[in-house]
Structure 1
Amino acid sequence: MLQTERHEMIMEKILKEQSIKTIDICNLLNVSRQTIRNDLEYLDSIGKLKKVHGGAILEKKSIEPSFETRSNNNLTEKKAIAAQAAQMIEDGDTIYLDIGTTVGEMIPHLNKFSNLTIITNSINFAYHLSQYKNIRVICSGGEMRNSEKSLSGHIAKKILENYYVDKSFIGIGGVSEKAGYTDYYVDEAEIRKLMIHHSNISYALLDYSKVNVIAIAKYANLSDIETVITDSKTPKSFRNILEDNGVEVITVE
């Protein structure tokens, strides 16, 4: 059995049971304890689960990795995904950029377009975009989360209710067949939900580490986002699940 197949089966079991024992996985997959220990250490290192004595548990759904950690994790994949996402934009578009770190990697690609209007709830993104003369920037307002320089809450939602866009680009806290798209902060999840419904087409930007992760707040079903842009490390089985839900999947190397 291939390593990626073992990882998929381990994640499938832990998502159902919340915790697993090493011996049970050894018996299920008919492999050695050391092989499973290595698998659990790897899955722990990419944030899929937490390795504990004798097995593993799911990470707490209310704790998001820091902005600095997320910005540096899987950076090669994020840059490739963002470059592909930028190719979906056309001159004259009105787009929404949410606060995701992968979405932020799109910004260096946007200076080549003419007459873009960009709506965002990220103060960081708004600042960087303001240096581009060809882009009109609308910032949502609202309560700021200091660690992210993100804006959300009642004021942000009230303002954004008045705007509709051609395309929205959505960062992902977690995605799974069981829960759909989820995020770690309820107020920010509400903003994502709103802008998905206020877009002609939505793009989810996700690298492989977000697959089979369930955060605390659901904001969309798999079928609510028309297109997913991901990397080739995302399991083929999950890409098939997305396609079965009517989602276009664009895979980058």
Structure 2
Amino acid sequence: MNERSEGRLMRLQHALGQGGSLRLAEAAALCGVSEMTIRRDLAGSDGSLALIGGHLMLAGDPRHDPVYDLAVQRDRNAEAKRRLCERALATLEEGDTLFIDCGTTLAPLAASLPDDMSLTVVTYALNIAEAVSKRPGVRLWLLGGVYHASSRSFSSDDMSETIRGFGINKAFLTAAGVDERQGLSCFHFHEVAPKQAAIATAQRRVLVVDASKQGMVRPARFAGLEDVDQVIAEEAGDGD
């Protein structure tokens, strides 16, 4: 590898040092070369940068894991997730029927549902259902089917139809990837149908995401940013 190629890779590593990703076209523009040149640089590199789905990222960044494991994700960004769920809790109203998505982001929401409100929760996630089951007075609908251990969630052929049969006031959704152009995505294709059914059914669709999801693109796209009514995300100064 020549010095110019090494210099370009160092510039890209520095640009990605604060997290996130760069589209291949953005990386090429940053270095003043063609996309093909960046591809050649990457092919001859030590593998510290990865090109996935047209996005350049640091290969060792845990936010870009090629697979999802709920047990691993549980403690990542835990404080940020707690703060985001506090904001989500503030939107609840008496008598709400809630759809709560799978994953770890909304676990603090499920565990903190108020005892003095009449609520119904619809979910296809076992970890969410376990948390809700400990909240007195909250009615729980756990949608079953084939169990997926990596995300502790279920899938079935009729799940979408079942979700559309509920009068859902608020759908609290999560995404493993949030990209301005590519929209909302997740790791598992079995999650697409229930997420889309909740989006189609709910009066209000609320996306809850921590900063690690911004700029990410995951394998299974389920919606565009325009398909949600509200985004609860980290704000400048959070965690300072």
TM bin (shorter chain): 0.7 to 0.9
Is 1:193 aligned with 2:186?
no
Residues 55-204 of structure 1: pairs in structure 2 closer than 5 A: 56-59=49-52, 63-204=66-207
Structure 1: 4+ residue segments shifted above 6 A: none
Confirm or deny: 8 A CA contact 1:84 1:229 kept in the other structure: yes
Q: Secondary structure at the match of 1:83?
A: helix
Question: What is the distance in 2 between the residues matched to 1:199 and 1:90?
Answer: 14
Partner of 2:208: 205
Give the structure with the larger helix fraction: 1
Is 1:230 aligned with 2:223?
no
The amino acid across from 2:49 in the alignment is: A
* Shift in Å, 1:7: 4.2
Confirm or deny: 8 A CA contact 1:208 1:233 kept in the other structure: no
Q: How many residue pairs were aligned?
A: 205
Distance 1:169 1:122, change over 3 A: same
Question: What is the distance in 2 between the residues matched to 1:172 and 1:8?
Answer: 23
* Shift in Å, 1:123: 1.8
Question: What is the distance in 1 between the residues matched to 2:48 and 2:65?
Answer: 21
Question: What is the distance in 1 between the residues matched to 2:73 and 2:92?
Answer: 25
Question: What is the distance in 2 between the residues matched to 1:58 and 1:153?
Answer: 33
Distance 1:157 1:16, change over 3 A: same
* Shift in Å, 1:104: 1.0
Residues 27-46 of structure 1: pairs in structure 2 closer than 5 A: 27=31
* Shift in Å, 1:137: 0.5
Unaligned runs of 5+ in 2: 1-13, 33-44, 54-63
Could you tell me the percent identity over the aligned residues? Answer: 21
The amino acid across from 2:86 in the alignment is: A
1:53 counterpart (43, 46, 49): 46
Distance 1:207 1:233, change over 3 A: farther
Confirm or deny: 8 A CA contact 1:173 1:184 kept in the other structure: yes
Q: CA RMSD in A?
A: 3.0
Question: What is the distance in 2 between the residues matched to 1:94 and 1:225?
Answer: 17
The amino acid across from 2:175 in the alignment is: I
Confirm or deny: 8 A CA contact 2:97 2:169 kept in the other structure: yes
Question: What is the distance in 2 between the residues matched to 1:170 and 1:103?
Answer: 8
Unaligned runs of 5+ in 1: 29-51, 235-250
Answer with 1 or 2: which has the greater Rg: 2
Confirm or deny: 8 A CA contact 2:111 2:135 kept in the other structure: no
The amino acid across from 1:56 in the alignment is: L
* Shift in Å, 1:92: 1.1
TM-score normalised over the length of structure 1: 0.71
* Shift in Å, 1:185: 1.1
